[in-house]
C-alpha cells in the first residue's frame, strides 16, 4: 500500500507559536493517504517512499518541518532523522518530568498564596496567583494534552481535529497569559517602587483584578481566530483527524498580517517591556539609595535600619527573580526567533548548532512554567513557613489516618 507524508501537529506548548511559534510539526507516514505536498502540487513520495523531485517550500513551511526533526529533503534527511530521534527521547523524559513536578508545585503555590499569609500585599498576591494559574493551564494544555499525549497516546481522541484545535488554542492562550501576567506584574512593581503618588491609586487589589481579567479576556479574543486556521490531515470513517494549518494562513494577506501581529505581541513586545521596566527600576533604586544613604550618614541615626529601604529590597528581590528568570529562559527562544524572522537566516541552512539551539530554546521556554513557585520558596521566608506548615499538617493527618485504620 502506498505510503505518503502526513503532517500532524503535536504542539510545543506554551507554549507555543513562533516557528510558527507555539506548536511544532511532526511528520509521519500512514498507509492509504492521499495527502498532497504542502504546495498542493504532486505527491512528495512515490510508492517506493522516495522523493519524486526536490521540495520547494516557503521559509515558514521549511522551518516548521525542520523544527520537527523530519524534513524530506535529500541533503538534510539523514541528520534530521537522527536529531529527531535523540530529541524525541530527551523530550519524552523532559516533558513527563515537567508535568509530574509542575502540576503539584503550581497547585501548592496557588493554595498557599491564596491564603494571604505570605506577608505580601493583596495586589501582589493576586498577580502571583494569576501567574501560577496560567503556568498550571500551560502544563495541562501544552505539556500534558499536546506533548505527552503525542508521545504516549498518539491515536487518542485528543487528536480529532476539533478537539486538538481547541487544545492548541488553549495552549496559545495559556502561554500568553503567563507572559503578559509577568509583564503587568513587573509594571505594578515598577509603579510601587518608582511612582509613589500613583502607587496609592494603582497598586490596589481591585486594579490588579481589573488588569488581570482584561488582559486574560483580550488574549482569549485574540487567539480565537487560530481555531479556524486548522484543517484535518486525514479522514478516518468520516472523522477528521489531526490539525494541519491551512495554506491560506501563509498566503492570504490578512492571515499573514495577523501572524506578524501575533509574533510581535508575543514574545517581542513583552520581552522588550520587561527589560525596559527592570532597567528603569534598577536605575531609580540606585539613585534613591545613594540619596538616602547620604542623608542617613549626616543624621544621628545613621546606624539604624531603614524600614522603607528594607521593604523596597524585598519587592526588588521578588521582582528581579521572577522577571530575570523569564528573561533568561526566553532569551534563547527570542534569539532563535530573531535569527529566523528578522535576520533572514534560512532554516534550510541551519547547521547542527542552530538546530540544537532551536530545540533547547523550546525546552527552556517550557521550563518557565515551573520556576515561579520555586522562586517564591527561595525569596519569601513566610511562603517557606506556610509550606512547612502545610507539609507538617499533611504528614500528621496521614499518620493519624494510618493509626485509625490499624486500630
Looking up residue 314, the CATH number of its domain turns out to be: 1.20.1070.10
Per-residue pLDDT band at 45 (split at 50, 70, 90): very low
At how many degrees (to 10) do helices 205-223 and 161-194 cross? 150
> Are 362 and 12 contacting, i.e. CB atoms less than 8 angstroms apart?
yes
**Does the structure show a pLDDT above 70 at 214?**
yes
Q: Which residue has the cell 507555543?
A: 16
Question: Per the structure block, which three cell numbers stand in for 263?
Answer: 509574533
Q: Which of 66-70, 102-106, 279-283 has the weakest average pLDDT?
A: 66-70
How high is the pLDDT of residue 140?
Answer: 94
Taking residues 145-158, what's their average pLDDT? 88
Q: Which three cell numbers stand for residue 95?
A: 516533558
Per the structure block, which three cell numbers stand in for 161? 481535529
Question: What dihedral angle (degrees, nearest 10) is formed by the CA atoms of 360, 361, 362, 366?
Answer: 100
**CA–CA dist 370, 256 (Å, integer):** 33
Q: State the pLDDT at residue 305.
A: 58
State the pLDDT at residue 31: 32
As a whole-number percent, the residues of the chain with pLDDT over 70 amount to 70
Residue 127 makes CB contacts below 8 A (sequence gap 6+) with 181, 184, 185, 188, 208, 212
- Give 118's DSSP letter: S
Helix, strand, or coil (residue 375): helix
What predicted TM-score, i.e. pTM, was given to this entire model? Answer: 0.76
Whole-angstrom distance, CA of residue 315 vs CA of residue 122:
13
Give tens-digit pLDDT for 320-358: 888 888 888 888 888 877 777 666 665 555 566 677 777
Q: For residue 57, is pLDDT > 50? A: no
Q: What is the pLDDT of residue 365?
A: 85
* Mean pLDDT value of segment 153-179: 92
Query: pLDDT tier at 219 (50, 70, 90 boundaries)?
Result: very high
**Domain tally for the chain?**
1
Reference 132, options 388, 373, 325; nearest CA is 373
Report, as an integer, the average pLDDT of 360-365. Answer: 85
- Beta bridge partners of residue 9, listed in sequence order: 25
Model confidence at 388: pLDDT above 50:
yes
**pLDDT(316) > 50:** yes
**126-135, 253-262, 301-310: least confidently modelled range:** 301-310
The residue assigned the cell 505594578 is 188
- Of 27 and 265, the structure prediction assigns the larger pLDDT to 265
Locate 383 and state its grid cell.
Answer: 511562603
Inform me whether the pLDDT recorded for 132 exceeds 50: yes
Mean pLDDT within 96-113: 92
Q: Averaging pLDDT over each range in 58-62, 192-196, 301-305, 350-354, which range is the top one?
A: 192-196
Average the pLDDT over 1-23 and give the result: 35
- 215-220 average pLDDT score: 96
Under DSSP, the state recorded for 225 is G
CA 157 to chain CA centroid, nearest Å: 24
Close Cβ partners of 102 (under 8 Å, ≥ 6 residues apart): 135, 136, 139, 143, 369, 370
Q: In terms of residue numbers, what domain contains 23? A: 3-406
Residue 378 has a pLDDT of 78
Residue 72 has pLDDT above 60, yes or no: no
- With a cut of 90, say whether residue 376 has pLDDT above it: no
Burial class (CB in 10 A: 0-12, 13-18, 19+), 296: middle
Q: Look-up: residue for cell 532523522?
A: 81
- Note the residue count of the chain: 407
Q: Tell me phi and psi for residue 74, to 5 degrees.
A: -60, -35
Of residues 217 and 47, more confidently modeled? 217
Instruction: Output the nine-digit C-alpha cell for 214.
Output: 482584561
Mean pLDDT of 258-273: 89
Element housing 103 (H / E): helix 77-114
* Residue written as grid cell 527589560: 275
CB 126 within 8 A of CB 394: no
Amino acid at each position: 500500500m502506498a505510503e505518503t507524508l502526513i503532517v500532524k501537529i503535536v504542539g510545543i506548548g506554551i507554549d507555543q507559536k513562533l516557528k510558527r511559534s507555539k506548536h511544532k510539526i511532526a511528520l509521519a507516514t500512514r498507509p492509504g493517504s492521499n495527502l498532497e505536498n504542502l504546495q498542493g502540487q504532486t505527491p512528495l513520495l512515490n510508492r517506493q517512499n522516495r522523493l519524486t523531485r526536490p521540495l520547494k517550500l516557503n521559509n515558514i513551511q521549511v522551518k516548521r518541518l525542520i523544527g520537527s526533526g523530519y524534513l524530506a529533503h535529500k541533503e538534510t534527511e539523514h541528520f534530521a532523522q537522527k536529531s529527531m530521534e535523540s530529541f524525541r527521547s530527551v523530550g519524552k523524559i523532559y516533558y513527563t518530568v515537567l508535568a509530574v513536578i509542575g502540576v503539584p508545585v503550581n497547585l501548592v503555590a496557588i493554595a498557599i498564596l491564596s491564603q494571604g499569609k505570605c506577608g505580601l500585599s493583596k495586589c501582589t498576591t493576586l498577580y502571583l496567583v494569576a501567574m501560577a494559574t496560567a503556568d498550571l493551564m500551560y502544563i495541562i494544555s501544552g505539556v500534558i494534552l499536546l506533548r505527552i499525549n503525542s508521545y504516549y497516546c498518539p491515536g487518542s481522541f485528543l487528536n480529532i481535529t476539533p478537539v486538538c484545535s481547541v487544545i492548541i488554542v488553549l495552549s496559545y492562550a495559556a502561554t500568553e497569559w503567563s507572559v503578559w501576567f509577568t509583564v503587568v506584574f513587573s509594571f505594578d512593581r515598577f509603579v510601587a517602587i518608582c511612582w509613589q503618588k500613583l502607587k496609592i491609586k494603582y497598586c490596589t487589589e481591585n486594579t490588579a483584578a481589573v488588569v488581570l481579567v482584561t488582559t486574560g479576556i483580550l488574549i482569549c479574543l485574540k487567539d480565537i481566530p487560530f481555531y479556524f486556521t486548522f484543517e484535518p490531515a486525514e479522514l478516518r470513517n468520516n472523522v477528521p483527524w489531526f490539525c494541519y494549518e491551512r495554506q491560506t494562513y501563509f498566503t492570504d494577506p490578512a492571515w499573514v498580517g495577523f501572524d506578524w501581529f501575533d509574533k510581535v505581541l508575543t514574545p517581542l513586545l513583552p520581552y522588550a517591556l520587561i527589560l525596559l521596566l527592570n532597567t528603569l527600576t534598577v536605575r531609580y533604586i540606585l539613585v534613591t539609595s545613594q540619596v538616602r544613604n547620604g542623608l542617613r550618614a549626616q543624621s544621628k541615626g545613621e546606624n539604624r535600619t531603614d524600614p522603607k529601604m528594607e521593604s523596597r529590597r524585598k519587592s526588588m528581590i521578588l521582582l528581579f527573580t521572577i522577571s530575570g528568570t523569564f528573561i533568561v529562559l526566553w532569551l534563547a527562544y527570542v534569539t532563535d526567533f530573531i535569527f529566523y524572522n528578522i535576520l533572514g537566516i534560512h532554516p534550510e541552512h541551519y547547521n547542527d548548532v542552530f538546530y540544537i539551539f532551536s530545540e533547547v530554546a523550546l525546552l527552556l521556554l517550557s521550563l518557565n512554567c515551573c520556576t515561579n513557585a520555586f522562586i517564591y520558596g527561595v525569596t519569601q521566608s513566610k511562603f517557606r513557613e506556610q509550606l512547612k506548615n502545610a507539609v507538617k499538617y499533611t504528614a500528621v493527618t496521614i499518620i493519624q489516618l494510618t493509626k485509625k485504620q490499624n486500630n
